[in-house]
Structure 1
Amino acid sequence: MNYQQKIDQLVHLIKEAGQVLALTGAGASTESGIPDFRSKESGLWNGMPVEELASIRALRKDPQKFYDFHLRWWEVCLGAKPNDTHYALAKLEQTGWLLGIITQNIDGLHQKAGSRHLWEVHGHLRTCYCPQCGQEFAINRLKEDYLCPDCGWILRPRVVLFGDPMPKDYFVAEKVLSGCQLLLVVGTSLQVHPVNTLPQRARRMVIINHEPTPWDSSAELVFRESSGKVLTDITKHLAHIPGPYFIK
């Protein structure tokens, strides 16, 4: 099956499905200049002990080292702009073809592109907070000082670190997926637990990712092309037709 035939088949699957959701990972944001985590050449965690660098234990043990490392790439996230993937998904939602997006990304680019129905299963970079007294601050506070101005405790971002429990959005996403007839898996290697178990809740799935995933053999279609290209081509077929979730 050539590329155009696969696009036509995906459009058919979306039209046929009653409930379509997207699950996005770091690969959805690479075209915005944000590195992904596990690609062999440019992955942020390539060859690095991620469980040590991005854990709640690392933050508590040496907060200066933790923030020296993470603030650099968080700044890239906060300064990035949405790409074709984000805009295409937002368009599919706005025209009623996509119920919403479950995202592993903390960069906020889906919101910037106009998506409204989001479940951020790994948290976000909009704010940080004090685990001791509960005070919340804008994320930029961490560039000035990582200690709480009220009680002196170590501030932390609203990001899920290794060793953290999953946030409320994750459990909501599990419930939403119970009725999902088609899941678009976009830019994720599906290697991080427990998010990599979510596809099993969908009736069907289509995978758009440059590298193989453990779920490829279970997918209706697998695209190795740019997610921006694939999703933009889909919107050309669907954006002029109101979908089942279209609201005037």
Structure 2
Amino acid sequence: YRSPGTGLYANLKKYNIPYPEAIFDIKFFTCDPRPFFLLAKELYPGKHKPNYVHYFVRMLHEKGLLLRMYTQNIDSLETRLLHPADYANVTKLRHTRRSFGAATRIFGILAAKSFLFTNNSTDVHTNESKTRLRKEIMSGKIPRCKICLGTVKPDVVFFGEELPERFFLHSKDFAKADLLIVMGTSLQIEPFGSIINTVRPTVPRLLLNKDHVGPFKREALKKTDVVELGDLTESVKKLVSMLGWHDELKELMEN
């Protein structure tokens, strides 16, 4: 999001918004949803493919080493690497901003998951067609509920909205972790900025990132902290090579 020159926020001028974060601000969205849906057209699932880093996370899962993955990404690429049988245990993946994998109606209408829509009085309005929503977004339209005409938005947690309840189970996760890997993040947004400090004192923390961030900015790192700066994909490839997983990961990506 925040990488200078290449991050999402550095490339939002064309959307004519007052400040970069406004595109994910619920108050701004309520007033003018058009910029968000222009961006949604570019980010909608299916337009992009999982990369090497996504497959590395999948490899951790395959080997039974992944306790949990926390992500702020909204492109759903991580979930594309889960086999259908894994969706019963989708808690393996925790989104703080959720993703385009579900949708919500606003302006007085609150929604459930998987494109099932419910209003605040719990009366079910209708099941919105995922195909219709995608078609409208990709054609540049603002999707509307056919019943109440409220704006439909992907189930993304905007600034100004509460985090999903399942996120707050993190305290149990971090107490169980034997290793914490932090990748591709600025750690500027809470609760990410602080939750990485909740692992046990003896647990190693590995930062694979373009820059020093958060507690890794300290001149004197903890003995259990390791930092590898540079291109994220290249850093992960280096780690995979050290683990002796190169051929396995290559096969996973090909299959």
TM-score with structure 1 setting the length: 0.72
Q: 1:65 to 1:38 in 2, by over 3 A?
A: closer
Judged with a 3 Å threshold, the aligned counterparts in structure 2 of structure 1 residues 64 and 192 are, in CA distance, closer, same or farther, namely: same
1:146 touches 1:156 (CA, 8 Å); kept in 2?
yes
Q: Please tell me whether the aligned partners of residues 56 and 164 of structure 1 are also in contact (alpha carbons under 8 angstroms).
A: yes
Instruction: Give the letter aligned to residue 140 of structure 1.
Output: R
Pair 1:90-2:71 in alignment: no
Q: CA separation of 1:156/1:105 partners in 2, compared to 1, >3 Å: closer, same or farther?
A: same
Alpha-carbon distance change, 184 to 118 in structure 1, aligned in 2, over 3 angstroms = same
1:128 to 2:82 alignment: no
> Whose Rg is larger?
2
Amino acid corresponding to residue 160 of structure 1 in structure 2? V
User: Would the aligned equivalents of 1:184 and 1:208 in 2 still touch at CA under 8 Å?
Assistant: yes
Question: Residue deviations 1:84-112, cap 9 Å, x none?
Answer: 11111111221122223111111111222
Once the two structures are overlaid, the 10-residue window that deviates more, 130-139 or 157-166, is 130-139
Going from structure 1 to structure 2, the CA distance change for 1:181 and 1:130 (only over 3 Å counts) comes to same
DSSP 3-state at the match of 2:227: strand
Equivalent positions of 1:3-82 (< 5 A) are 37-46=1-10, 49-68=19-38, 70-75=39-44, 78-82=46-50
Check if 1:194 corresponds to 2:191.
yes
Cα deviation, residue 209, structure 1:
0.3
Per the TM alignment, residue 42 of structure 1 is displaced from its structure 2 partner at its CA by 1.4
- 8 A contact 2:142–2:151 mirrored in 1: no
Q: Contact between 2:171 and 2:198, CA under 8 Å: does it hold in 1?
A: yes
Structure with higher RCO (Cα < 8 A, 6+ apart): 1
Unaligned ranges ≥5, structure 1: 1-36, 241-248
Partners in 2 of 1:233 and 1:40 — Cα distance? Answer: 24
Identity over aligned pairs, percent: 24
Distance 2:171 2:136 in 1: 32
Q: Is contact 2:34-2:142 (8 Å) kept?
A: no
**One-letter amino acid of the structure 1 residue matched with residue 40 of structure 2:** L
1:199-232 CA distances to partner (integer Å, 9 max, x unpaired)?
A: 0111331110012202213561101133333333
* C-alpha displacement of 1:165: 0.6
1:118 partnered with 2:93: yes
**Alignment RMSD:** 2.5
Number of the residue aligned with 1:208? 208
Aligned residues: 202
Change in Cα spacing, 1:224 to 1:146, as seen in structure 2 (3 Å) is same
Q: CA distance change for structure 1 residues 197 and 151 in 2, over 3 Å: closer, same or farther?
A: same
Q: CA separation of 1:56/1:95 partners in 2, compared to 1, >3 Å: closer, same or farther?
A: same
Q: Could you tell me whether the CA contact under 8 Å between 1:120 and 1:169 is conserved in 2? A: no
Q: Which moved more, 1:183-192 or 1:196-205?
A: 196-205
Task: Check 1:82–1:66 CA distance in 2 against 1; reply closer, same or farther (3 A cut).
Answer: closer
Counterparts of 1:235 and 1:184, CA distance in 2: 13
- Give SS of 2:214's match: coil
Alignment partners' CA distance in 2, 1:165 and 1:133: 13
Superposition TM-score, scaled by structure 2 size: 0.70
Q: 1:163 aligns with which of 150, 160, 165?
A: 160
Quick check: 1:92–1:239 contact (8 Å CA) kept in 2? no
* Aligned-partner residue type, residue 186 of structure 2: S
Q: Is contact 2:183-2:209 (8 Å) kept? A: yes
Q: Which amino acid aligns with 1:123?
A: R
Partner secondary structure for residue 154 of structure 2: strand
Distance 2:166 2:42 in 1: 24
Q: 1:141 Cα shift?
A: 5.7
